[in-house]
Chains A and B, each alone.
Chain A
Amino acid sequence: KNEVEQSPQNLTAQEGEFITINCSYSVGISALHWLQQHPGGGIVSLFMLSSGKKKHGRLIATINIQEKHSSLHITASHPRDSAVYICAGSNKLVFGAGTILRVKS
């Protein structure tokens, strides 16, 4: 079993919808990262969380330490949000399998 599990694997949404991607992780991970990989292949670090909630524009990331669970939310989704979203546990980055998001206009 992978130390970091993501769901769903694939997600198709209509433009404007609220999107949630979930991530569960095992013991030994002290912080969680959310990454975005665009179709062109580049990887961008979106958030790093060890507690609470962070917001950047239309993106919100939350983490529940007790339940070992994190969520990435996208409000008012747009086709340019289409990408692979990956959660990863530190310290050396243990990756989830990624969620392929496609937002249709």
Chain B
Amino acid sequence: DTAVSQTPKYLVTQMGNDKSIKCEQNLGHDTMYWYKQDSKKFLKIMFSYNNKELIINETVPNRFSPKSPDKAHLNLHINSLELGDSAVYFCASSLRAGASNYGYTFGSGTRLTVV
């Protein structure tokens, strides 16, 4: 059973389109995250939700809107896609927020290419 699953794995779309990436975890974790990995492989946090509530919102364009219908799901919707949005997006979860004492489990990533 996949612990943190993301769909789709690959997404190719045109500039200006709106797209969503879905993430689900079956670990019973309270906290979920979205990270972006750029072309230089540098990872950066975008959002974090704890029990459906937004707790971290880094300086991300408001074209990006996370949605958490329940604590097992954190979806990422992107409006008006731009070329610079091309990256690999990783979802992750941890047992609790402020996970100093808990590990993280990552999804396999979604490679988004905007053409």
Q: Are A45 and B41 in contact (CB under 8 A)?
A: no
Q: Are A93 and B33 in contact (CB under 8 A)?
A: yes
Q: How far is the CB of A23 from chain B (nearest CB, A)?
A: 14
Whole-angstrom CA separation of A44 from B90 in the bound complex: 12
Q: Are A93 and B104 in contact (CB under 8 A)?
A: yes
Known: A92-B56, A95-B44, A97-B42. A41 touches B100 (CB 8 A): no
Q: How far is the CB of B51 from chain A (nearest CB, A)?
A: 16
Q: Are B104 and A95 in contact (CB under 8 A)?
A: no
Query: With a CB–CB cut-off of 8 A, which chain A residues contact B35?
Result: 93
Q: Which one of B22-30, B65-73, B74-82, B105-113 is at the interface? A: B105-113
Q: Are A43 and B97 in contact (CB under 8 A)?
A: no
Query: With a CB–CB cut-off of 8 A, which chain B residues contact A7?
Result: none
Q: How far is the CB of B92 from chain A (nearest CB, A)?
A: 8
- Chain B interface size band reads 20 to 34
- Chain A interface size band reads 20 to 34
Q: Are A91 and B103 in contact (CB under 8 A)?
A: no
Q: Are B106 and A42 in contact (CB under 8 A)?
A: yes
B99 within 8 A of A: yes
Whole-angstrom CA separation of A84 from B43 in the bound complex: 12
Q: Are A92 and B105 in contact (CB under 8 A)?
A: no
Q: How far is the CB of A71 from chain B (nearest CB, A)?
A: 19
A33 within 8 A of B: yes
Q: Pick from A42, A50, A84, A88: contact of B101, CB below 8 A.
A: A50
Query: With a CB–CB cut-off of 8 A, which chain A residues contact B43?
Result: 86, 88, 93, 95, 98
11 contacts between A and B (CB under 8 A): A31-B100, A31-B101, A35-B106, A42-B106, A43-B90, A45-B104, A45-B106, A48-B103, A50-B101, A97-B40, A98-B41
6 nearest interchain CB pairs? A43-B106, A31-B100, A95-B43, A91-B98, A30-B100, A45-B103
